[in-house]
Amino acid sequence: MGNRYIRPSRVIELIALFWFVSLRFADCYSPGKKSISSVASRRSILKNGLIAFVTGAPLTSNAVERAVGVGEQKCREAGNCLEIGEWDGAVGWQWGGKDRCDPSDPNCMTNGKLRDSPAEILPLPPFLEGDLAKITDIVQIDVAIGKQAQSETRTLRIGLYGNAFPTLVKQFLDFTSTDQGGGLVSSSPLAFDEGYGVSTAPVSLIVGGLLEYIYPERKLEFGVPSQSAAFAKRKGKSKAPEDFMAQPRPKQAMTDDEDKIVVRKHDSAGLISVPRNGIGYANPNAPDDEAFSNSFGIISAADSSLDKKSKVIGQLIDEESMESITRLVALPTRKGITGVIPGQNSGPPLVKVSVRSISISKDVSVS
């Protein structure tokens, strides 16, 4: 196996894993109620844990109480524990379930707190005039929030600008295809012939597709995290065979004329964004198996920083879809240590959001 690509934010989380484990030890050895006059604060537990981690020495089992001082309480309320150096407040308060609302609750926000009133629905992006902005195809994606038995279903209806970006739109339609044997194929057709010596399949959002990553209040990213896992699911197996070959990134790029076209910039919520080089190029250093993990995004706020590397190839087309993105972009994230670093609150959703069904139509009456 080759080197596995790791998202940079994950490196930070791995470095901080020790902090988390040490903090749990602090809780385990703190049977009493919280008190400012504790025998040892979490700082000393973190320090002792580091010594144990490096030297291999066992942690002592002296009972301590979990300290929550006035400074920690104030910075938690202000949300600036890290900036002022209040490490107990920065590291400790968002890790456990006590301080966090139920992530399946529609009013549970990314920061783990309940909002006082329902979120204001994001406005529908305006429909533009002209042939290039004409919606040529509609893709409806239904997603399930949470476990299937207790899941909440949300619908996203996407209109695509096929006249402006035929190459990227075709990739998107292939990727969301639900036809028998359908999906995005970028390998040689020979790979599908028996006797070629490999197992492979098209990659499709309908098989193993997830809401993979959330940038709170900014952007949702959808994709297939692992082609091998999706292949195993398709075949009803626990894992893919050793000879499995993932689909590589598509080599067909936009024409020069396509590349010059800008139907609209990333200037409003509800726009569909894909990498300029095509679906699969959001993380160019990732192995082929994970190439389509962040295949396309739906932005929930204007973001001009995306204009250089991405293209807007479509938009959400109705109020129900805007209500859905408002709900999804506010889901709590599994952010680990990034949750205490300013501006680093992004991550996978805390509750699984899976693609339940997809339908594609040519009904373009919306535009």
Interval 248-297: pLDDT, tens: 999 877 888 899 999 999 999 999 999 999 999 999 999 999 999 999 99
Interval 227-262: pLDDT, tens: 999 999 989 999 999 999 999 999 877 888 899 999
Nearest to 13 by CA among 349, 335, 352, 350: 335
Please state, in angstroms and rounded to a whole number, the distance separating the CA atoms of residues 154 and 138. 16
The count of C-alpha atoms lying within 13 angstroms of the C-alpha of 139, restricted to the half-sphere facing its C-beta, is: 24
**Could you tell me what percent of the chain has a pLDDT over 70?**
68
Residue 6 to residues 9, 10, 160, 348: CA-CA distances in angstroms? 8, 6, 31, 14
Across 188-278, the runs of DSSP E, i.e. the strands, are 210-215, 219-223, 271-275
Nearest to 292 by CA among 300, 283, 303: 283
**Could you tell me what percent of the chain has a pLDDT over 90?**
51
Whether the per-residue pLDDT at 33 is higher than 50: the answer is: no
The sign one gets for the Cα dihedral 58, 61, 66, 67 is negative
Torsion of CA 215, 172, 230, 284, to 10 degrees: -60
Please state, in angstroms and rounded to a whole number, the distance separating the CA atoms of residues 95 and 20. 8
Bridging pattern class, strands 271-275 and 310-316: antiparallel
Query: Tell me, what DSSP letter sits at residue 149?
Result: G
Whole-model pTM over 0.85: no
pLDDT bucket at 338, cuts 50 / 70 / 90: very low
β partners of residue 342: none
- Mean pLDDT score of the chain, rounded to an integer? 80
- Return the pLDDT at 6: 56
Q: What is the mean pLDDT of residues 30-41?
A: 43
Whether the per-residue pLDDT at 65 is higher than 90: the answer is: no
Please state, in angstroms and rounded to a whole number, the distance separating the CA atoms of residues 226 and 222. 12
- Return the pLDDT at 260: 93
41-45 contact pairs (CB < 8 A, 24+): 41/67, 41/88, 42/66, 42/67, 42/88, 42/91, 42/92, 43/87, 43/88
Backbone angles phi, psi at 191, to 5 degrees: -65, -20
- Return the pLDDT at 37: 40
Q: What is the mean pLDDT of residues 183-202?
A: 85
Whether the per-residue pLDDT at 52 is higher than 70: the answer is: no
Tokens in use for 218?
Answer: 């900014």
CB 187 within 8 A of CB 247: yes
Between 123-137, 177-191, 286-300, the lowest mean confidence (pLDDT) is in 177-191
CB 101 within 8 A of CB 112: yes
- Return the pLDDT at 172: 97
- Return the pLDDT at 103: 79
Between 30-34, 50-54, 201-205, the lowest mean confidence (pLDDT) is in 30-34
Q: What is the mean pLDDT of residues 215-227?
A: 95
- Return the pLDDT at 28: 46
Tell me which range, 38-47, 99-108, 237-246, 266-275, is most confidently predicted by mean pLDDT.
266-275
Interval 300-333: pLDDT, tens: 999 999 999 999 999 999 999 999 999 999 998 8
